[in-house]
Structure formats: C-alpha cells, structure tokens
Structure 1
Amino acid sequence: MNVECVLKAATTVGEGPHWDDVTNTLLFVDIYGNSIHRYNPETGVDDKFELDDPVGFVVPAKTGGLIAGVGRCLVHVDWDTKKVTKLHEVEQGLDTRFNDGKCDPKGRIIAGTMGPIVPDVVNMPKIGNLYCLDLDGSLRTLVKGVGISNGLAWTEDTKTMYYIDSTPRQIYSFDYNAASGELTNQKVIVDTTGRPLEEIGVPDGMTIDTEGKLWVACFFAGKIVRYDPQSGCELQSVNIPSALRITSRCFGGTNLNELYVTCSVYDAHKEELQKYPLSGSVFQVTGLGVKGFEANAYEVKIKL
C-alpha cells in the first residue's frame, strides 16, 4: 500500500470527492474556499470554479453540468459558461448550509445540511436535515434533526443505505426502497462515542467497496477506517501522513482501485500545522487490493 500527496495544500476544507468516469477526473469541493475543483491525475491540472457561498458537495448531471450544494441552495453549474442556476432553497432563516451529498443508485440526489460549527462537536445544534432531490426535480425531507449530515453509501443490491451523522459519532443503516427513495428501519451499526477522538476521531465521509465494506474518514484521527457493516468491526486502517482532519474519500482511477482522500486545514492551530504540514491536501492511496463502484450521476434533465 502506498499513500501519496497529489495536491498539496489545495483546500481550506476539502470535501466530497467524486470520481467522474466520463472525464476520468476527480471532482471535489473546498467548502470555505467557496469552490468546486476538477483534478486531472493524468495532467496534474487542478481547475477551480468559484461561487459566492460555501460549497458542500458536487455531482455530475447526466445531461450536462454539475449539481452542487451551495449555502442553503441546490444549484446547477455550467462549468463552461459559468452560469449558476438555483434549483431549490431550504431552511430559510436558519444558519445552516448543505454539507455532504451523493446520487443514489437510481440517480436521485441525497444531500444533508448542518448548523454552525461549535467547539464541541457532540453539542452541535441538531437543526439540519437530510433531503432527496427526486427524479421529477422535486425536493423532500428524508431525515429531520441532524447535527452534521455526512457520509452516504448504498449496497450493490440497493436495499440498504448507510448514513453518517457526525454529531453523535455514529453510522446508521436504513432499509432503502430504490423505487421510491424511501427510508425505513434505522439502525446504529457503528458507534464511536465511547472512544477517544485521537484514536478514532469523528466519522465523516464514507464510501463502499465491491466487497460491501465501508471506508470511513476519521476527522481528528488522521486516518481512514474500513468497517464491516454487518458486525461493526474495524477491518483495516489507513494512516494519512501529515494530515489530521480527514474529511472524505472515494474510489477512482480507470480501474476504480485508487482511493482519493480529502482533508481540512480550517481552524487548525500553529502547533497542529507544524505536526501535520499537509493539512488541506488531497491524497491518493494505492495497493489496497479492493476497488469501488462507479459513482452515480443525477439522472434528471434540468430545466434552465
């Protein structure tokens, strides 16, 4: 196994990596840099699209352009023309913003919000929600009262959705109806509340491999952990050198066997930066011996 820094100090809060198999590029966001990035591993070029508010996630749309969570809005972004079109706004009057989001196996967007960061993550105000941008373009609420809406993943048979709310430091499973996008039967499958932050951190972004195991970014712990969702047991740990605040990861590369990892430098003090000088960088992990699935794109034609 090899861990390499491929983009040094590229972000303030790097998040939401998404491998675009159409262009063979890595999409990711810089939340407080208010920007979407598109990194080409072959050329080493990292292009950037800047917006007016924090960007929580980005996914491609099948019919062109990108869908992003920007502030409290879901928007369509045309990278070439720089046109940004608002699709929906949520939680008007609240100090919230979109955080993580992905497309489900049918091409819906599932994305959540969070309130303002407080020093003690466990005491985050639970004023966020998890939403579904459905196949007809409508928006509905799936889960209410979320602290920090984060990682999402689906099993290959589409019958189970995994979800992270970082505030209680737990990973959940839901029975998932792929035909309707409905969630039922919520269960806690991993609970890290009893473990020290420096040991396991706060669960953040998440992906699933073709063996059905979950790869979870451990914020404040400088590593990625592979979990068995059936037992909740840790199977493997990947330390990310010189970075502490690991935010997310996705499988990418032409064979989907490379793990791309984002992290944050936001709010890191001087002593931390001396110990973790690659904070805010993007890493590539190879030689894991497993691979992921192609990421889904939004299926609906956007009416602009």
Structure 2
Amino acid sequence: MSVEVAISNVTLGTGEGPHWDETTNSLVFVDITEHNVYRWDSITGIVDKKHLDDDDEVGCIVPCKKGGFLVAVGRNIVHLDWSTQKQARLHEIPPKGVANRFNDGKCDPAGRLWIGTMGKVLSFDPLEFEMEKGDLYCLDTDGSLHKRLEKLTVSNGLAWSSDHKTMYFIESVPGQIMAFDYDVTTGNICNKRTVLDIGKFDPNDPECLGIPDGMTIDTDDNIWVAFYGGGHVICLNPKTGEMLRKIEIPCKRTTSCCFGGENLDELFVTTSEAGSTEEERKKYPDSGKVFKVKGLGVKGHPANVFKGNL
C-alpha cells in the first residue's frame, strides 16, 4: 500500500466532495473556503478550475446524466454548465433569511441528490459550530426538494449499500455515523440506528479519532470515513462498528474520500489547510492536497450521478 499526493499543483483551503467520473477518468472536487470547483483529468494531468462566487462557500459537486453538474453554492443548489460556466439556480434552502448553507451531498442509486445543510463555523481553534441549524434534504429526479432529517448540526458523508437497502449518514457534530433502512423506489428512510458514536472531538486526547467527515463505500459494503483532525481514513464494518483498517494521511485535516482510478481500486482523499497553525503546516507541508492511496486490495462502486430533468 502507498499514499502519495495525486495532484501536486493544487493546494486547497478546504478540499471536499471528491467524485470520480468514470466516463472521463477524471476527479471533480471542491474548495469550500475558496469558492472553487475543480476537475482533474487523470490521463492528461490537466486541472481545470472554476471560481463560482466571491461570497458563498461551495459545498459539493456531482455530475448530471444529462450534462453539467449540480453544485451547492451557499444556500443554493445550482446547475453548472462547465464549458460556459453558466449557473442556473434550482433551489434555495427554505426558509429564506436563515444563516445556514448547503454542505456535503451525494446521489443515491436512483439518481436523487441527497444534500445536507449546516450553520456557521464559529471558530477553527477550538472548532465550534452553530448547533442544530442544519437539515438533510433529498432533491428528487422530478425536481422537488424534500426534507428528510432536521435539527442537525453538521450534515455530512453519505453512502448506500450494494443491495440498495441501507443508507449510511454522518452527522459530524456530535460525531455519529448512522444507518437507515432505505427504499430505493421512494427514497424514504426509517429505522435509524448508530454504527459508531465518536463523541465530542477533543484534539488533546490521543485516543480521539477526530471528527467523522466524508465517506465512501467499497464493494464489500465496508465504509471508509475521513476523520477531520485525525489525519486518517478508517475502514469500518458498518454492521458491527468494527474498525478494520486505518490509513494514515500526511495531513491532520482529512475531509473526504472516494474510490477512483481505471479499476476503481484507488482511494482519493481530500484535505484542508484552512485553520491550520504554522507549526502544523511545517509538520504537514502537503496540507490541502488531494492524496491517492494505492494497493488497498479493495474496489469501490461507480459513483451515482443525478438522473433528473433540469
């Protein structure tokens, strides 16, 4: 197994939302704090960057089957035409006037977009957020937006089992990885249970894993979770909560991960430089890079795309 920097010429403030597009052998991802989206062509090595907004943070990006991308920009879900950079606003978080924003999002096996919201980051050191300002929404393929969970603090990673019967979801604060029964036909979720409860993040506790952030799932139905503040990605058996593997990443602020590469057997890991101290940056000079882990011996599923009409 090896861990290396995948894209040497890009350093992200807060990298997030990696998505492998197998049709183009490219990786798309966002920089939340710098308001950018990126597409890296793994064949040519070319990186294309789009700056979306000077005021609103960018939460996530997913491709659409009919072309373009859905992007979370502040309080809005927009459709982005990559070539023209034209943005069409589709939905704003209801109700208007609340100081929250969209965060992580991912498409389910039916092609719906699941996307969560969160309140403000109050401070990086110590890391504090507005409590219970977030919700989890589902953008259906008919264009309708439905609230599925409410009064969340930091809505984050999502994944679905290979039999399409279970949805996994992370609420980073208070540090819980959850599972729900999932109906692929209707998009309904029920029967919430806890896969792992990390508890409150304590950076001074050497036993603290960090804050569970973004995640992905492999073909064995084990989940891979990036732990912000922990500097690692951990593989878990979600049925038992057992920790199967820990992959150390040379950056303290690991944010999310996805499987990619020609055979979907490489793990791409996004990281963050924002909020880091000078001492931390000296210790981890590649903070903010996208990393690639090879030789894991497992594969991921092709990523789901949005299948709705726009």
Q: CA deviation at 1:54?
A: 1.1
Rounded to whole Å, the distance in 2 between the matches of 1:223 and 1:253 is 20
SS in 2 for 1:175: strand
Match of 1:74 among 71, 77, 83: 77
> 8 Å contact 2:175–2:201 — kept in the other structure?
no
Aligned residue runs from structure 1 range 144-293, under 5 A? 144-193=150-199, 196-197=202-203, 198=206, 199-241=208-250, 243-293=251-301
Structure 1 partner of 2:98: 94
Rounded to whole Å, the distance in 1 between the matches of 2:218 and 2:127 is 28
The residue type equivalent to 2:289 in the other structure is: S
TM-score normalized with structure 2 length: 0.94
> 8 Å contact 1:29–1:35 — kept in the other structure?
yes
> 8 Å contact 1:122–1:167 — kept in the other structure?
no
> 8 Å contact 2:174–2:199 — kept in the other structure?
yes
Once the two structures are superposed, residues 204-237 of structure 1 have per-residue CA deviations (whole angstroms, 9 ceiling, x without a partner) of: 0010000010100010010000001011011000
Structure 1 partner of 2:6: 6
The residue type equivalent to 1:135 in the other structure is: T
Match of 2:136 among 122, 130, 138: 130
Structure 1 partner of 2:117: 113
SS in 2 for 1:271: helix
Rounded to whole Å, the distance in 2 between the matches of 1:106 and 1:36 is 25
Rounded to whole Å, the distance in 2 between the matches of 1:176 and 1:254 is 30
In structure 2, relative to structure 1, the CA distance for the partners of 1:269 and 1:227 (3 Å cut) is same
TM-score normalized with structure 1 length: 0.96
> 8 Å contact 2:201–2:211 — kept in the other structure?
no
Rounded to whole Å, the distance in 1 between the matches of 2:200 and 2:81 is 45
Match of 2:87 among 84, 98, 101: 84
Tell me which moved more, 267-276 or 101-110.
267-276
In structure 2, relative to structure 1, the CA distance for the partners of 1:123 and 1:36 (3 Å cut) is closer
Rounded to whole Å, the distance in 2 between the matches of 1:61 and 1:213 is 26
The residue type equivalent to 1:236 in the other structure is: R
Q: CA deviation at 1:124?
A: 3.6
* Structure 1 gap ranges (5+): none
Structure 2 partner of 1:41: 42
1:298 aligns with 2:299: no
The residue type equivalent to 2:176 in the other structure is: Q
Rounded to whole Å, the distance in 1 between the matches of 2:149 and 2:103 is 14
Count the aligned residue pairs: 301
Rounded to whole Å, the distance in 1 between the matches of 2:295 and 2:239 is 25
The residue type equivalent to 2:277 in the other structure is: H
* Structure 2 gap ranges (5+): none
SS in 1 for 2:255: strand
> 8 Å contact 1:205–1:217 — kept in the other structure?
yes
Q: CA deviation at 1:194?
A: 6.8
> 8 Å contact 1:7–1:282 — kept in the other structure?
yes
Rounded to whole Å, the distance in 1 between the matches of 2:285 and 2:121 is 23
> 8 Å contact 1:76–1:87 — kept in the other structure?
yes
Rounded to whole Å, the distance in 1 between the matches of 2:24 and 2:145 is 28
In structure 2, relative to structure 1, the CA distance for the partners of 1:102 and 1:173 (3 Å cut) is same
Q: CA deviation at 1:121?
A: 4.7
Rounded to whole Å, the distance in 1 between the matches of 2:122 and 2:279 is 21
Q: CA deviation at 1:7?
A: 2.1
- The structure 1 segments of at least 4 consecutive aligned residues displaced by more than 3 Å after TM superposition are 119-124, 194-199
SS in 1 for 2:147: strand
RMSD (Å) for aligned C-alpha atoms: 1.3
In structure 2, relative to structure 1, the CA distance for the partners of 1:33 and 1:114 (3 Å cut) is same
> 8 Å contact 2:177–2:196 — kept in the other structure?
yes
The residue type equivalent to 1:3 in the other structure is: V
